[in-house]
Amino acid sequence: MSNHSGEYFIIKAKENGVNVIGLTRGKDTRFHHSEKLDQGEIMIAQFTEHTSAIKVRGKATIITPFSTIESDE
């Protein structure tokens, strides 16, 4: 069994060019995936056995099972 929650989260871009970057799990944290979203685009994602963190650059709304967060950039 993998060690992730399986819960989904949503990232909605509030401007063009929002970067969503996946970071690896393990001894060395590295970038392993990147997406660019334009205003109004939505990405639905989840943490996996390979992804331990997500970095968002730009103005976006991030919706998780725990809360909704607005980026301030």
Domain CATH code at residue 15: 2.60.40.50
Report yes or no on 12 lying in a domain: yes
Report yes or no on 41 lying in a domain: yes
3 is written with which tokens? 């060690």
The pLDDT tens digits of the residues spanning 17-63 come to: 999 998 887 777 777 788 999 999 999 988 888 778 888 999 999 99
**Lookup result for tokens 């060395």:** 28
Domain range for 37 is 8-70
The per-residue pLDDT for 73 is 57
Rounded Cα gap, residues 55 and 18, in angstroms = 10
Of 6 and 61, which is predicted with more confidence?
A: 61
User: How many folded domains does the chain comprise?
Assistant: 1
